């Protein structure tokens, strides 16, 4: 069985969660369609998500596609990620474990600011990407205009796959595709699949998720235009999320090699007491997890998002960072507040909880006002803390403008050491270089 992890990403209100609902319905996982505006969407499991109509936490759903079109049975794990910019750090963490992504674009609004940010993140994490242009049933939605915009913003690799793709359009994407089109007039399916996996071709589908239009074509594309990524022969896994369910700390990871059995001791010495396979808000216990599966592991207490286990390396440092700094005020003692915030920082490292000893204050870093309100509600619901926030200040970074030399010496018993440290400004974007 081919197992793939597929991420759904979009600018807020592009219909991403509605698309997930429709895909699950068409695959037979759901018997009844829910709706975001009716507050009964399958993947909006949190009360705050249903009240606001937005995705706040990355959610998982599992569907299986029967063998068809020469492809064997395919198991897809869908990760529905937040579209609101305030929760983009949660979306970026999910990118670390994706095999493929579906970028949802509104047929009426087109490519928006956060859509471009997501595209840059997909390029950074080298995730092969499908594009689904949604809401094509609304007035003003024009497939030709949207395709032209996608090719203008994201390159000639964006090719319409809602029907038989144009061989001439495919020929512009890679040299092997061009050679096959010149030789035979049409490229081989395996060459197209390879070009998609190498991010040379980005299949574009059009439809309306609310009306289930175009979803069968997208599912067929996810089955026939994908391939199983390389796997480690020994055990490997990547942690991408930490959460809590009824007091149990859960480590969400994708297995990238070998097999993870329940009660196995993970690299680092902690035991996997239970393996949970989530589908929306519910889960079932499994005895083992194979490559390509995403499971929530109960037991480990020291894992962190982005951590590689076994043969898998740690993820890259996140690109997106908070832009605002807030002071937290609460009637409870500072130790209690700090402990609660550190628990939440364990789940979202981008909070950057900081205790200012000189001022006796607790500070956090956030993306914006919506995240602030959500954090306030979580502290109230989970920890019973009624907190307020100071007016946010913009975070800024400092850099060197001129060269400077620092000198220090150290004199322990009968020893002497002296260090000269030269600090010089580098080219913008070059990072910190040591020599």
Note the pLDDT tens digit of each residue in 334-386: 889 999 999 999 999 999 999 888 888 899 999 988 999 999 999 999 999 99
Domain of 206: which CATH number? 3.40.50.300
Of 377, 237, 258, residue with least CA distance to 309: 237
Let me know whether 21 and 136 are in one domain.
yes
Let me know whether 274 and 331 are in one domain.
no
Let me know whether 35 and 135 are in one domain.
yes
- Asked whether the predicted pLDDT for residue 267 surpasses 80, the reply is yes
Please identify, among 202, 224, 246, the residue that sits at the C-terminal boundary of a domain: 224
pLDDT value of position 422:
96
- Asked whether the predicted pLDDT for residue 45 surpasses 80, the reply is no
Let me know whether 29 and 143 are in one domain.
yes
Let me know whether 182 and 277 are in one domain.
no
Domain of 287: which CATH number? 2.40.30.10
pLDDT value of position 431:
84
Whether 318 maps to a domain, the answer reads no
Let me know whether 119 and 6 are in one domain.
yes
Whether 383 maps to a domain, the answer reads yes
β-pairing verdict for 2-10 and 74-80: parallel
Whether 260 maps to a domain, the answer reads yes
Count up the domains in the chain and report the number.
3
Whether 415 maps to a domain, the answer reads no
Please identify, among 224, 248, 264, the residue that sits at the C-terminal boundary of a domain: 224
pLDDT value of position 55:
84
The C-alpha atoms of residue 16 and residue 7 are separated, in whole angstroms, by 10
Do 336 and 342 touch, CB atoms closer than 8 A?
no
Which helix H or strand E contains 431, and what residues bound it? none
pLDDT value of position 165:
94
Let me know whether 240 and 212 are in one domain.
no
**DSSP per-residue codes, 386-419:** -EEEPPPEE------SS-EEEEEEE--TT--EEE
Whether 403 maps to a domain, the answer reads no
pLDDT category at 429 given cuts 50, 70, 90 is confident
pLDDT value of position 207:
96
Let me know whether 363 and 248 are in one domain.
no
Render pLDDT for 127-175 as a digit per residue (tens, 0 to 9).
Answer: 999 999 999 999 999 999 999 999 999 999 999 999 999 999 999 999 9
Let me know whether 66 and 164 are in one domain.
yes
- Asked whether the predicted pLDDT for residue 246 surpasses 90, the reply is no
Do 386 and 330 touch, CB atoms closer than 8 A?
yes
Let me know whether 171 and 126 are in one domain.
yes
- Asked whether the predicted pLDDT for residue 91 surpasses 90, the reply is yes
Render pLDDT for 285-304 as a digit per residue (tens, 0 to 9).
Answer: 999 999 999 999 999 999 99
Please identify, among 189, 224, 259, the residue that sits at the C-terminal boundary of a domain: 224
DSSP three-state, residue 144: helix
The whole domain housing 8 covers 2-224
Let me know whether 261 and 158 are in one domain.
no
Let me know whether 42 and 148 are in one domain.
yes
pLDDT value of position 44:
79
- Asked whether the predicted pLDDT for residue 413 surpasses 90, the reply is no
pLDDT value of position 388:
92
Whether 8 maps to a domain, the answer reads yes
Q: E strands along 120-235, which residues?
A: 129-134, 158-160, 202-206
Render pLDDT for 15-34 as a digit per residue (tens, 0 to 9).
Answer: 999 999 999 999 999 888 88
pLDDT value of position 20:
93
């Amino acid at each position: 069985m081919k197992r793939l992890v597929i991420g759904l990403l979009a600018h807020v209100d592009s219909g991403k969660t509605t698309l997930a609902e429709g895909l699950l319905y068409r695959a037979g996982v759901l018997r009844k369609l829910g709706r975001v505006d009716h507050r009964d969407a399958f993947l909006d499991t949190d009360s705050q998500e249903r009240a606001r109509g937005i995705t706040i936490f990355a959610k998982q759903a599992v569907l299986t596609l029967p063998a068809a079109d020469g492809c064997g049975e395919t198991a897809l794990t869908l990760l529905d990620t937040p579209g609101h910019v305030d929760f983009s750090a949660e979306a970026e963490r999910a990118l670390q474990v994706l095999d493929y992504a579906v970028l949802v674009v509104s047929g009426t609004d087109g490519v928006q600011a956060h859509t471009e940010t997501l595209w840059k993140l997909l390029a950074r994490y080298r995730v092969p990407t499908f594009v689904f242009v949604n809401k094509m049933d609304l007035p003003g939605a024009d497939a030709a205009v949207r395709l032209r915009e996608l090719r203008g913003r994201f390159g000639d690799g964006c090719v319409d796959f809602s029907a038989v793709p144009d061989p001439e359009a495919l020929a512009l994407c890679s040299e092997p595709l061009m050679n096959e089109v010149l030789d035979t007039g049409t490229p081989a399916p395996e060459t197209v699949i390879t070009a998609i996996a190498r991010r040379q071709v980005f299949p574009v589908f059009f439809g309306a998720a609310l009306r289930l239009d175009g979803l069968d074509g997208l599912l067929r594309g996810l089955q026939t235009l994908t391939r199983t990524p390389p796997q480690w022969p020994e055990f490997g896994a990547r942690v991408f999320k930490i959460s809590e369910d009824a007091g149990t700390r859960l480590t969400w990871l994708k297995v990238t090699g070998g097999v993870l059995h329940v009660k196995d001791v993970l690299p680092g010495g902690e035991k996997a007491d239970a393996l949970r396979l989530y589908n929306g808000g519910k889960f079932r216990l499994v005895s083992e997890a194979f490559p390509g599966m995403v499971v929530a592991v109960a037991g480990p207490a020291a894992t962190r998002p982005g951590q590689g286990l076994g043969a898998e390396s740690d993820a890259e440092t996140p690109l997106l960072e908070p832009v605002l700094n807030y002071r937290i005020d609460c009637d409870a003692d500072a130790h209690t507040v700090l402990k609660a915030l550190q628990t939440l920082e364990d789940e979202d490292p981008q909070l950057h909880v900081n205790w200012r000893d000189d001022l006796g204050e607790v500070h956090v870093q956030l993306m914006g006002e919506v995240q602030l309100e959500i954090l306030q509600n979580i502290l109230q619901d989970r920890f019973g803390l009624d907190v307020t926030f100071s007016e946010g200040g913009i975070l800024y970074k400092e850099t060197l403008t001129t060269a400077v030399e620092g000198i220090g010496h150290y004199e322990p018993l009968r020893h002497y050491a002296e260090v000269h440290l030269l600090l010089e400004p580098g080219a913008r974007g070059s990072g910190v270089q040591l020599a």
